[in-house]
Structure 1
Amino acid sequence: MEIRELQWFVALAECEHVTSAAERLNIAQPTLSRALARLEKRMGVALFDRKQNRLHLNKYGEVFRAHAVRAISEMDRAEQRIATLIDPDTGTITLGFLHSYGTWLVPALLAGYHTIAPATTFELRGSAADAVVDGVRQGRLDLGITSPRPADTTLRWTPLQNEPLSLLVPVGHRLASHHRVRLAELAAEDFLALQPEFGLRQVADKLCEAAGFTPRIVMECTELSTLRSLVSSGLGVAVVPATGDASAHPAGAVSVPLADPGAFRTIGVIAQAGGPRSAVVARFHHYIRSTAQPSEG
């Protein structure tokens, strides 16, 4: 049994039509029909129920498809592992990260790594914290750069640096001229925030809880740029990263440093518990961890 015949079977199971599957695979319809006949003869059972011009997987076909998909996946993985053993600097790394890190941290990391391994390529996927964690856990992402530390202790977490947080208020706000502010002073304010699955929101909620109140959140959004613009429009205040304040905040908003202990989010890199399986990913993982800065909080 050839691997291509397994691939043909999986395509046929998805299309449930010989002509459509043959067109998708760019092979002749009789070739596909003969391959299916050989496969069913080898297995000793029909793998599809025939109904007019359509095919429908039966219970035997469902079992065979599950094993075929695993076999194809294992062969693909074997090819990737052999390729990286031949040249550990060549390969593709799928990196997930929080959207806000895509404007400063991720470009800096990739620029530095490019000088070491210019042949390595990347698939970059910005998302919310929960999606990054789940992607690494499920193997859809090789590595993730996120905050806060995931609750899932089966993932391998390495803290990299602490990113200070500040309070963003509209120009003319009573606290806009302050040099520092404590969150306890904001218990009566209207808050703007990212949605709960975002790491920044989770950190901000814990800071407010430590300050003795639950923030009254009047609007939620999914992007920091939108959050900053909402503050600039006078709709409320928000806890935001202090990194890049001078260029990131719109003209109608003022950033005020937070005086609360723990007013930062710890940025870290996550990998699966056993560490990266690919040499190319392992090398980049080592590089990221080498950039870690001593914690100040």
Structure 2
Amino acid sequence: MEIRELQWFATLAEHEHVTLAAERLNISQPTLSRAVRRLEQRVGVRLFDRHQNRLRLNKYGEVFRAHALRAIAEIEAAEQRIATLVDPDAGTVALGFLHSYGTWLVPELLAGYRTIAPRTTFELRGNAADTVVDDVRHGRLDLGLTSPRPTGDDLTWTPLRDEPLCLLVPFGHRLAERRQVRTAELADETFVALQPVFGLRQIADRLCAASGFTPRIALESTELSTLRSLVEAGLGVAIVPITGSPTEGRGPVTAVPLGDRGALRTVGMISSPTGTRPPVVHRFFDHVRSTAHAPYA
């Protein structure tokens, strides 16, 4: 049974006239009549009652038409879904990212991409680095923007740009007027920091370890905005990305650039090297990769 024969049957059932249906379908009357006879032979009953030059759908035909219409609708829906997957300008990209990237990097990338592929939609999920990595690894996300580079070799890592880090201090702090500070000078400071599952916390811990001390963490948070408020309240200093941090003026908090080599977090895109990447995901991936090494905002 061919799908086109079901479509022909549905048209004939609508018009109940072979000549009109054949004209509508742009096929010959004998071709349409033979197709209907094949369907009737397959199901074992007549689907139409014949009345001279007219046809009338009988009770068996009514049952068959209901199922035929559902079958046609399912095939059309499948074709539409496949076309969406094949079309690199359409479809949905499931993109994960660190919460802090949601305030600048993600809007920047999507705004640029929307100008060339406005029909692409995105499912956006901000989360901790470990969660983003796990979701990409298990196929719950197509791509992930994260830092630092995940351990293991089961994911593809594409570095995009380096984001310098700074020390966030409250007004009046002894280092607030400095043009630069090294991590080794912070051994006696009290820190506020993200929880250990966050990539930024892992980078900050490594900087401190390389300088010969373990940071004294007074409070932990899950949001950079909360860290800023904690620093403003005088509860500690924080190592944060310089993006969006106040580096000028005498506000409630000041960002002092870190002078250590490696005092940065590399923004990277992760993806699974296994499986078939849909064209819509592949095209967005190529676009993001083309922005690699652009200066941070």
TM over 0.5: yes
C-alpha displacement of 1:275:
6.8
TM-score (norm 1): 0.70
Q: Which moved more, 1:273-282 or 1:131-140?
A: 273-282
> How many pairs does the alignment contain?
219
Question: Percent sequence identity over matched residues?
Answer: 63
1:198 alignment counterpart: 198
How big is each residue's C-alpha offset from its partner over 1:186-218, in whole Å with a ceiling of 9 and x where there is no partner? 101111100001010000000111111110101
- Structure 2 alignment gaps of length 5 or more: 1-76
Deviation at 1:252, TM superposition (A): 1.4
- Residue pairs, 1:106-255, within 5 angstroms: 106-246=106-246, 251-255=251-255
Contact 1:276 / 1:282 at 8 angstroms: preserved in 2? no
The residue identity in structure 2 corresponding to 1:101 is Y
Rg larger in 1 or in 2? Answer: 2
Per-residue displacement from partner, 1:204-249 (whole Å, max 9, x unpaired)?
0001111111101010000000001100100011100001223999
> Helix, strand or coil for the counterpart of 1:162?
strand
Q: For residue 274 of structure 1, report the CA deviation from its aligned partner.
A: 3.0
Instruction: Kindly provide the CA deviation profile for residues 52-95 of structure 1, in whole angstroms up to 9, marking residues without a partner as x.
Output: xxxxxxxxxxxxxxxxxxxxxxxx9997555322x221101110
State the distance in 2 between where 1:80 and 1:152 align. 34
On the 8 A contact 1:232/1:250 being kept in 2, the answer is: no
The residue that corresponds to 2:85 in the other structure is 84
Instruction: Please say if residues 247 and 255 of structure 2, whose CA atoms lie closer than 8 Å, have aligned partners that are also in contact.
Output: no
Deviation at 1:99, TM superposition (A): 0.5
Alignment check: 8 A CA contact 2:181 2:258 kept: yes
- Contact map agreement 1:193 1:220 (CA 8 A) in 2: yes
- Provide structure 1 residue ranges, at least 5 long, that are not aligned to the other structure: 1-75
Could you tell me whether the CA contact under 8 Å between 1:245 and 1:255 is conserved in 2? Answer: yes
What is the distance in 1 between the residues matched to 2:235 and 2:252?
11
1: CA distance, partners of 2:274 / 2:285: 13
CA contact (8 A) 2:168 2:228 kept: yes
Tell me, yes or no, if the aligned pair for 1:193 and 1:227 is still in contact at 8 Å: yes
Q: What whole-Å deviation, never above 9, does each CA across 1:18-67 have from its counterpart, x for those lacking one?
A: xxxxxxxxxxxxxxxxxxxxxxxxxxxxxxxxxxxxxxxxxxxxxxxxxx
Sort the Cα spacing of 1:244 and 1:213 in 2 relative to 1 into closer, same or farther, 3 A. Answer: same
| RMSD value, Cα | 2.3
**What secondary structure is seen at the aligned counterpart in 2 of 1:178?**
coil
C-alpha separation between the residues in 1 aligned to 2:147 and 2:249? 21
The amino acid across from 1:279 in the alignment is P
